[in-house]
Amino acid sequence: MKLDAAQLLELERQLGKPEGEFGMAVANEMNKSNYGIIHDAFERLNIKNGQNILELGHANGEHVLNLLENLQSIHYSGLEISTLMHNEAIRINEKHIRNGKAKFELYDGNLIPERDLFFDSIITVNTLYFWEKPIDLMNEIHRVLATDGFFVLAFVKKDFMQDLPFVNDGFSLYNNADVSKLVSQSKFKTAEFLDREEEVQSKDNTFVNRKYSLAIIRK
């Protein structure tokens, strides 16, 4: 389906912060199209029992439901800027919230509501483009991450993103060099990049090869 200019602008806005009925439809589509990246990124965490895991921007949280079914004694925390996605994640993961394995909170996208060194691993998938203050948020992630922990930052590369019709001023685009520079300006020390490529269905129902990276960032 071809979208007009107004629809493309609304899609761009909804991708950053889903709201309302259209936001729900966009979120469901994101969950499907991002499945491969999400699965790949969580595999990099090498999660062990007893760990505290934080995800920034969990969307509707369907992937969390499956993750916690397979791991017995971890604790997952999710932070969202979208009230709609926050409420959906709570609804979908009600069982895991009741048994103490998960909690979901709203935040402002800048300050992480947790004490220093609390999380063993931190992850975020396809949120980097919307960060208001990238260096400040990097330093917040550094603050709450355990000394021997690591942060997995998954993002689709600038070379692919810049040609998408719904990507305009609402997105800040990155390639590996841009993320390396961001890391160097923060309190983190090193970033290792794993380059990936996958076939995904685009909005006009054609299939394209999407290039993305997993940045493994350590203190």
pLDDT in tens, the chain (219 residues): 466 666 656 766 767 677 887 777 777 777 788 899 999 999 999 898 899 999 999 999 999 998 898 877 899 999 999 999 999 999 999 999 999 999 999 999 999 999 999 999 999 999 999 999 999 999 999 999 999 999 999 999 999 989 887 778 789 999 999 999 999 999 998 899 999 999 887 654 567 899 999 999 999
Amino acid 17: pLDDT: 76
Amino acid 115: pLDDT: 97
Amino acid 205: pLDDT: 56
The SS3 assignment for 208 reads strand
Beta bridge partners of 192: 216
Structure tokens at 207: 């299939």
pTM for this structure? 0.90
* Residues 202 and 214 sit within 8 Å (Cβ to Cβ): no
The SS3 assignment for 12 reads helix
Q: Is 107 exposed, middle or buried (0-12, 13-18, 19+ CB in 10 A)?
A: middle
Burial 3-23 (b: 16+ CB within 10 A, else e): eeeeebebbbbbbebbeeeeb
Structure tokens at 201: 């269905």
123: left (phi over 0), alpha (psi -120 to 50) or beta: beta
Q: Rounded to whole angstroms, how far apart are CA atoms 108 and 169? A: 20
* Residues 217 and 191 sit within 8 Å (Cβ to Cβ): yes
Amino acid identity for residue 166 in this structure: F
Amino acid 12: pLDDT: 62
Amino acid 204: pLDDT: 46
Amino acid 11: pLDDT: 67
Domains along the chain with CATH numbers: 5-218 (3.40.50.150)
